[in-house]
Amino acid sequence: MRKICVITGGGSGMGLAAAKIMGKSYYIIICGRNTEKLEAAVNELKAEGIQAEAYPCDVSDLASVEKLASYSKAKGTVAAVIHAAGMSPHMGDAKTILEVNALGTIYINNAFYKVMEEGSCLIDVSSMSAYLTPQMVMPVGIYKYSRNDPEKFMRKMMRRIRFYPEKYQSGIAYGISKNFVIWYAKQDAARFGESGARVLSVSPGNFDTPMGEIEKEEASAYVKYCAVKRAGRVEEIAGLFSYCVSESAGYLTGVDILCDGGLVASGINVLQKKVV
């Protein structure tokens, strides 16, 4: 059976960069909602000699995610999943951001837990915003409802976010959703470990991606706080993804890896005041 690597949000940016590296050892299935972008990405991968295909999937829709997991399992051994799909504060309202970033993570983890085997690894992609948003904002006590009742989880999360002025809600929803991703990946480590699989999260900082381009002006203001005075290159984060799913990292699970050029370490107190 061939080894399969599934990459959500694989049509561009970090996801596509990961596909180019992972494609050296895995059969690639890239997923997303924009079929034209996916097909263009597949053509780019095939031009580099990579075996790949596109599969349309909306990660905020449970049925769509379950179909993706079943399809992937039918194609071979699901050895790696890189869940890079997500929405930034400039791409939707608070509810949509929560549905894609938080519910999407719940659905992806639950669906692929059923099809991943010993030695496999799932990476949930979070964000440095999980660290920059003040911890007092995080409704961590609500996170537990995600395990058994995602609908109740969403209702309680939205009720909390609506406490804040409307103009801040998308940004707060984003920070909370990415903090939740880290929490959820850590919670899932024991469950995945029962079948010999691993799950962890990676939190990127500012990278040169289409999503990063939307927030370029805001992101550029943060560069001066970085230890590395530039935005990250997608090949750098893709290389980290590749290492994390490899056998060399076989003892790595239940953790978050922050890859932000030293931004959080260098200026978290100043930046936290900027977030809210």
Mean of pLDDT over the chain: 93
pLDDT tens-digit series, residues 11-28: 999 999 999 999 999 999
- The pLDDT of residue 276 is 41
Q: Indicate the SS3 state at residue 260.
A: coil
Q: Which residues contact 149 (CB under 8 A, 6 or more apart)?
A: none
pLDDT tens-digit series, residues 125-158: 999 999 998 889 999 999 999 999 999 999 999 9
Determine phi and psi for 27, rounding to 5 degrees: -80, 130
Q: Is the pLDDT of residue 119 over 50?
A: yes
- The pLDDT of residue 44 is 97
- Domains annotated for the chain, with CATH where assigned, are 3-275 (3.40.50.720)
Q: Is the pLDDT of residue 270 over 80?
A: no
pLDDT tens-digit series, residues 209-234: 766 565 666 667 778 888 999 899 99
Q: Is the pLDDT of residue 272 over 60?
A: no
Q: Indicate the SS3 state at residue 259.
A: strand
Burial of residue 94 (number of CB atoms within 10 Å: 0-12, 13-18, 19+): buried
Share of the chain above pLDDT 90, in %: 86
Q: Which residues contact 189 (CB under 8 A, 6 or more apart)?
A: 198, 199, 200, 253, 254
The angle formed by the CA atoms of residues 121, 122 and 126, to the nearest 5 degrees, is 140
pLDDT tens-digit series, residues 233-257: 999 999 999 999 999 999 999 999 9
Report how far residue 114's alpha carbon sits from residue 118's, in angstroms, rounded to the nearest whole number: 12
Confidence of residue 175 (pLDDT cuts 50, 70, 90): very high
Is pTM beyond 0.85? Reply is yes
Q: Is the pLDDT of residue 45 over 90?
A: yes
